[in-house]
């Protein structure tokens, strides 16, 4: 072990931990690995420490301190921390370790992620980097290490020519389900979305399929990996991209399985393509239905959901995917015109139609006037108060909204009830369930067990603890 220029702490938060005991999930994020590769390609040394939200404080400090020297910069990936929904002490160990290392070494702290500003005080951060950051981080490191001078030989990063590889220091384990990036951006502009590259043209910001194929083959040869979590904002937004993807998958010398964020209306419009996706391994998908109220679904840019979702989603799951899928349907609690009774009626519809799993969480509004440091806002953030009847009663609590039907507190309270019901009547959420394939479980095993029973099973606890210990031991 030796001091490096940059340590990135990365972990996936759990929205369930507030409600019931859950086990460690072996799920890592791809973003820190992409940042690390960009820096390494330009001469910097980097160590990513994954699972930082589930390692004990003692484990995290013991691992990280060996990589920290007087010039080491500390980074925290906030993308999947879920701060609005987790308990206040959910990341206390991570917070304490980062602050302790800063005190001991005088280290600077960088936060990354789309909502990194929300965690500035929490981690006592010196710098904030939001959005896609492969090139932004190089500018910042030139400032920190090179007096602001850009290196002449710098290799800027481009998604289209990205030849991503997991580094040996990532310590991937045999058969691990890992994230994979096909492209960036989305051709749509849903009003509640604040991601970069919205409204892109078809074919823009997509990786070369030959490079993706090389990455998949190398992962198989090194780690026996065949399970992938595709991280694209909308995987099925381009039929031509999907045709190329299916051809590439068919050319692989082994089968893969994958899960992805998909637009339900495009699965409906291009059903032949949907069947090809299932044939080539799409056994999990997250469908952002958001609302089945015609008015609310139209407001957020998904009018299809209010017209066709009730009929098509069960058909997609049971006919196109033959029931062999971890498909998850997402709803938002508190959209214009939606009542709590509406949300419950959709949850019960999902149970009656044997939808594998569902998720419903409170609407989040971030009015620009109350978040002056945040550079990106959704259209709904901008219009909620002026067009859609929302108000923020107390500017000191900017997330707490109300409209004529409910308040944020009502939505939050109902969220707890809904999650408890879902936990006992549906299987695990799509992404979390897919990560459990790393522990040797099958899709059928996950499907046939409720979320609560799955994680409270001593066998899961034993497998996940052993898996995490293997990761810890690899640093010795």
Q: What is the pLDDT of residues 331-384, one digit of tens each?
A: 999 999 999 999 999 999 999 999 999 999 999 898 888 888 776 788 888 999
Q: In degrees to the nearest 10, what's the CA dihedral of 469, 30, 45, 474? A: 10
Q: Which residue has the higher pLDDT, 20 or 389?
A: 389
380 and 231, same structural domain? Answer: yes
Q: Residue 82: its pLDDT value, please? A: 61
**Which of 123-132, 137-146, 462-471 reaches the highest mean pLDDT?**
462-471
Phi and psi angles of residue 232, each rounded to the nearest 5 degrees, phi first: -55, 145
On whether residue 314 sits in a domain, the answer given is: yes
Residue 160 lies in a domain: no
DSSP string, 46-68: EEEE--TTTS-HHHHHHHHHTT-
Q: Is residue 66 part of a domain?
A: yes
- What average pLDDT score do residues 36-60 get? 92
Q: Is residue 32 part of a domain?
A: yes
Out of 70-79, 81-90, 101-110, 313-322, least confident range: 81-90
* Residue 449 and residue 324 share a domain: yes
Same domain, 349 and 420: yes
Q: Note whether residue 461 is domain-resident.
A: no
Whether residue 189 lies inside any domain: the answer is yes
Q: What backbone phi and psi angles, to 5 degrees, belong to 447?
A: -60, -40
List, as one string, the DSSP characters of 221-286. HHH---EEEE--SSTTS-HHHHHHHHHHHHTSSS--EEEEEE-HHHHHHTHHHHHHHHHTTEEEEE
Q: How confident is the model at residue 142 (pLDDT cuts 50, 70, 90)?
A: confident
Give the full edge-to-edge strand order of the sheet including 109-112: 46-49, 6-9, 73-77, 109-112, 127-129
Of 153, 187, 209, the residue that ends a domain is 153
The closest of 467, 410, 413 to 438, measured between CA atoms, is 467
Residue 42, classified by CB atoms within 10 Å of its CB into exposed (0-12), middle (13-18) or buried (19+), is: middle
pLDDT in tens, 391-445: 999 988 888 999 999 999 999 999 999 999 999 999 998 888 899 999 999 999 9
- Are 356 and 322 in contact by the 8 Å Cβ rule? The answer is no
Report for 236-240, 299-303, 315-319: range of highest mean pLDDT: 315-319
Which residue, chain included where needed, has tokens 């709904």? Answer: 380
Report, as an integer, the average pLDDT of 318-343.
Answer: 96
pLDDT at 183 over 50: yes
Determine the pLDDT at residue 197.
Answer: 63
Residues 117 and 187 in one domain: no
Q: Which of 59, 97, 173, 174 is nearest to 476 (CA)?
A: 59
Please give the Cα distance from 388 to 243 (Å, whole number): 40
Residue 271: which pLDDT band, with cuts at 50, 70 and 90? very high
Q: Are residues 259 and 393 in the same domain?
A: yes
CATH number at residue 60: 3.40.50.280
Specify whether the CB–CB gap between 335 and 363 falls below 8 A.
yes
Whether 466 is covered by a domain: the verdict is: no
- Of the candidates 113, 95, 114, 112, the one whose C-alpha atom is nearest the C-alpha of residue 103 is 95
**CATH code for position 320:** 3.80.30.20
> Which of 206 and 9 is assigned the larger pLDDT?
9
Q: For the chain, what percent of residues have pLDDT higher than 90?
A: 67
Q: Is the pLDDT of residue 148 over 80?
A: no
Least confident range of 109-118, 268-277, 286-295? 109-118
Mean per-residue pLDDT over the chain, rounded: 89
- Which of 15-19, 216-220, 290-294, 362-366 comes out lowest in average pLDDT? 15-19
Cα–Cα distance for residue pair 339/405, rounded to 1 Å: 7
Same domain (yes/no): 206, 113? no
**Residues 142, 180: one domain?**
no
Cβ atoms within 10 A of the Cβ of 43, count? 13
User: How many CA atoms does the CB half-sphere of 337 hold within 13 Å?
Assistant: 13
State whether 344 and 395 are in the same domain: yes
Residues 246 and 137 in one domain: no
Q: Which domain holds residue 189?
A: 171-456
Query: Which residues share a beta bridge with 360?
Result: 331
**How far is Cα 339 from Cα 362, in angstroms, rounded to an integer?**
12
Residues 147 and 197 in one domain: no
Number of domains in the chain: 2
Residues 6+ apart with CB under 8 A from 444: 324
Which of the listed ranges 91-95, 195-199, 237-241, 303-307 does the model predict with the highest average pLDDT? Answer: 303-307
pLDDT at residue 23, rounded to an integer: 54
Q: Higher model confidence: residue 154 or residue 209?
A: 209
Task: Tell me whether residue 162 is in a domain.
Answer: no
Backbone angles phi, psi at 179, to 5 degrees: -75, 150
Based on the fold, state whether residues 55 and 144 are members of the same structural domain: yes
Do 19 and 102 lie in a common domain?
Answer: yes
Residues 6+ apart with CB under 8 A from 209: 244, 245, 247, 248
């Amino acid at each position: 072990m030796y001091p490096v220029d940059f340590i990135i702490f990365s972990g996936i938060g759990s929205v369930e931990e507030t409600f019931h005991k859950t086990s460690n999930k072996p799920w890592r994020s791809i973003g820190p690995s992409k940042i690390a590769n960009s820096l390494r390609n330009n001469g910097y040394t980097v160590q990513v420490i994954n699972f930082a939200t589930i390692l004990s404080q003692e484990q995290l400090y013991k691992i990280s301190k060996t990589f920290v020297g007087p010039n080491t910069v500390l980074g925290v990936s906030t993308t999947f921390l879920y701060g609005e929904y987790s308990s206040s002490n959910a990341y206390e160990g991570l917070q304490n370790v980062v602050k302790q290392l800063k005190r001991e070494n005088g280290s600077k702290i960088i936060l990354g992620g789309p909502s990194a500003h929300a965690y500035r005080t929490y981690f006592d951060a010196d710098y904030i980097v939001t959005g896609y950051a492969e090139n932004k981080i190089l500018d910042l490191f030139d400032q920190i290490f090179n007096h602001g001078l850009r290196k002449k030989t710098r290799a800027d990063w481009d998604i289209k020519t990205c030849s991503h590889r997991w580094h040996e220091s990532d310590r991937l384990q045999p058969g691990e389900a890992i994230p994979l990036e096909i492209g960036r951006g989305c051709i749509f502009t849903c009003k509640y979305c604040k991601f970069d590259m919205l409204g892109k043209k078809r074919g823009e910001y997509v990786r070369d399929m030959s490079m993706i194929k090389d990455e998949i083959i190398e992962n198989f040869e090194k780690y026996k990996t065949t399970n992938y979590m595709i991280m694209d904002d909308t995987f099925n937004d381009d039929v031509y991209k999907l045709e190329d993807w299916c051809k590439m998958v068919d050319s692989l010398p082994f089968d893969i399985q994958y899960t992805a964020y998909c637009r339900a209306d495009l699965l409906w419009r291009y059903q032949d393509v949907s069947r090809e996706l299932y044939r080539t391994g799409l056994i999990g998908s997250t469908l952002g239905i958001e609302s089945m109220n015609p008015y609310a679904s139209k407001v957020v840019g998904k009018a299809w959901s209010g017209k066709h979702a009730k009929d098509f989603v069960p058909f997609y799951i049971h006919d196109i995917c033959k029931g062999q899928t971890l498909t998850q349907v997402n709803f938002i609690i508190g959209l214009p015109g939606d009542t709590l009774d509406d949300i419950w009626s959709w949850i019960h519809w999902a149970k009656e139609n044997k939808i594998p799993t569902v998720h419903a969480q409170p609407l989040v509004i971030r009015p620009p006037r109350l978040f002056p440091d945040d550079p990106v806002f959704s259209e709904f953030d901008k219009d909620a108060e002026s067009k859609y009847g929302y108000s923020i009663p107390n500017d000191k609590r900017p997330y707490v909204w109300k409209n004529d039907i409910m308040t944020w507190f009502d939505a939050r309270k109902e969220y707890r009830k809904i999650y408890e019901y879902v936990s006992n009547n549906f299987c695990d959420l799509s992404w979390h369930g897919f990560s459990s394939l790393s522990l040797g479980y099958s899709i059928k095993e996950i499907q046939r067990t409720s979320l609560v029973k799955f994680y409270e099973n001593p066998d899961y606890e034993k497998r996940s603890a052993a898996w995490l210990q293997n990761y810890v031991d690899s640093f010795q």
